[in-house]
Structure formats: C-alpha cells, structure tokens
Amino acid sequence: MHGLMSYRRFRRARSLRSDRALARARLLCSDRATRVRLLRSDPFRALHSQKITFSGQADEAPDTVTGDIVFVIQQKEHPKFKRKGDDLFVEHTLSLTEALCGFQFVLTHLDKRQLLIKSSPGEVVKPDSYRAITDEGMPMHQRPFMKGKLYIHFTVDFPDSLSPDQTKAIEAVLPKPKADLSDMEIDECEETTLHEVNIEDEMRRKAQAQREAYDDDDDDEEGPGGPQRVQCAQQ
C-alpha cells in the first residue's frame, strides 16, 4: 500500500513538472512569435547591421542558462531609393523644358503610395540640385511617429544641338549674355575651337601616360648594365 501511494505521488509530481514545463514552453513560443511578428510588422525602423536581441529566447537545456536570440539586420539595396539613416534619396532626370518651365510627375513610394511631385510656378531647377519632402523618409529609430526626409536629386537632360530658329527663340526670352564683346575686342583675340571630351577617360589616359613615362625614366637611369655608379676622381 505504501509503495502504491508513493508511486501515485511520484506520478502526480512528475505530471505537475511536465505541465509546468509545457506551459512555460508554450509561453516562450508565444512570446517569441509575438516578438517576431512585431519585427516583421515594422522593419523600416531598423538600421543596417543593427542587432535586435531577444533575451532568454534561445534553446533550453538542463542545468544551463538559456541564451539569447540575436537578429542582425541586413539592408537590401533598392533599385530606385537609397537610404542614409532616416532619409531617403531618389534620382530624377528633367528635360530642359521641364527644368525651365515647370514639371510634374508621379513617384511610387516604398509603401506603394503615389506621390505627386511638381514644381512651384516660375521655379527653375538647376542641374545637380536637390529638393526635399518632409516626413516621407524612413521612420526614426525609437521614434516611430517621426520620419526623415525624402530628397530628390535632379539632373537636367540638355539637347545635343539647337536649330537657328530655336536659338533665336531662346535668345528672345532669356537674359542676354553678360559678356557682350565688341567687334574690336573680338578682332584682338585668338579664336579657338572647343571639342567634347569625357573627362574621366581623359584623366585616366593622362595617369597611364605619366606612369609609363616614370617607368621609362627609371629604365634610362639604370642603363643596360644596371644602375651606374659615380666614382670620385683620385688626386
């Protein structure tokens, strides 16, 4: 009888321990799933290489301290938008007419919203200039209700050439050149000819030519028999 009661107590205690372990495991799984859902629902607040730690959520083992789960955020490049901290950058090319006379276009944001981007009346956009839109950047870290800015970098596509009629029409509406030279001043100058160049290719060729020239100088100093030594004359 005593042995039967001890066995029943052992089974009851074992059952209680199992129930507690199962309940704790379910709680941990539920808490872990909740944290992962929160991470997935708002990934835009995280920064590149940022670590998000879930303390005590790793696998458990007897007689050991439960470790942590650490997520390391890896930011994937976007074909259109570039991120710098809480701000976003996007490139847009305007025609010369749009840059001078005004423009409007639709920009699809990361969350698929359609933004109408347009210039102000009379505004002229210069090449390599920026415009900013407030609160259209990324959510700020630990300040989810605040966002950075969306910067638009404008480039202007100039025409390759103009007809005489187009040139006269543009001259009629644009300010005259500041340097309006007289015929006498022109006669005293030497006329030159401009040609189009790719400055990066030009600098690359010059650097290569300089390296080759330095190599040739080193070969000339060494001579065919190696470096030449200078000896002092004996008195």
Q: What is the pLDDT of residues 160-197, one digit of tens each?
A: 899 999 999 988 888 877 767 788 888 888 777 767 77
Q: What does pTM read for this prediction?
A: 0.57
Asked if residue 92 and residue 67 are part of one domain, the reply reads: no
Judged against a pLDDT cut of 80, whether residue 21 lies above it is answered with no
Helices H, strands E: what count in the chain?
Answer: 5, 10
Secondary structure of residue 215 in the 3-state scheme: helix
Contact status, residue 45 vs residue 139, Cβ threshold 8 Å: yes
The answer to whether residue 11 is domain-embedded is yes
| Each residue's pLDDT tens digit, 42-78 | 445 566 666 777 777 767 777 777 777 777 776 778 8
In a domain, residue 41? The reply is yes
- Residue 187 inside a domain? The answer is no
The alpha helices in the chain, defined as continuous H runs, are 2-41, 96-101, 164-173, 183-187, 199-222
Query: Same structural domain for residues 102 and 57?
Result: no
Of the listed ranges 8-12, 201-205, 211-215, the one predicted with least confidence: 8-12
Domain boundary among 123, 139, 173: 173
93 in the same domain as 68: no
pLDDT at 13: 46
Domain shared by 90 and 109, yes or no: yes
Please determine, for residue 226, whether its predicted confidence score (pLDDT) is greater than 60. Answer: no
* 95 and 150 belong to one structural domain: yes
Task: Look at residue 1 and tell me if it is in a domain.
Answer: no
Q: Is 189 within a domain?
A: no
Residues 67 and 98 both lie in one domain: no
- Read off the CATH number of the domain in which 114 is found: 2.60.260.20
Looking at residue 177, its pLDDT comes to 73
Are 92 and 64 members of one domain? no
Last residue of one domain, picked from the residues 153, 173, 193:
173
Lowest mean pLDDT among 40-49, 90-99, 138-147, 209-218: 40-49
60 and 15 belong to one structural domain = yes
In this prediction, residue 35 carries a pLDDT of: 54
Residue 188: its pLDDT value, please? 83
Which one-letter amino acid corresponds to residue 141? H
160 and 105 in a common domain: yes
Confidence check: pLDDT of 30 > 90? no
> Residue 14: what pLDDT?
47
Specify if 216 maps to a domain: no
Whose tokens are 């009346």? That residue is: 121
Q: What is the pLDDT of residue 187?
A: 84
**Spatial CA neighbour of 46 closest among 73, 76, 83:** 73
Q: Please report whether residue 203 resides in a domain.
A: no
> Is residue 168 a part of any domain in this protein?
yes
Q: Are 70 and 53 in contact (CB under 8 A)?
A: yes
Q: In terms of domains, do 58 and 86 share one?
A: no
Of 50, 72, 94, the residue at which a domain comes to its end is 72
| Burial group, residue 232, by CB count within 10 angstroms (0-12, 13-18, 19+) | exposed
Q: How many domains does the chain divide into?
A: 2
User: By residue range, what is the domain housing residue 24?
Assistant: 7-72
Residues 87, 151 contacting (CB under 8 angstroms): yes
- Name the most confidently modeled range: 37-41, 72-76, 101-105: 101-105
pLDDT at 10 over 60: no
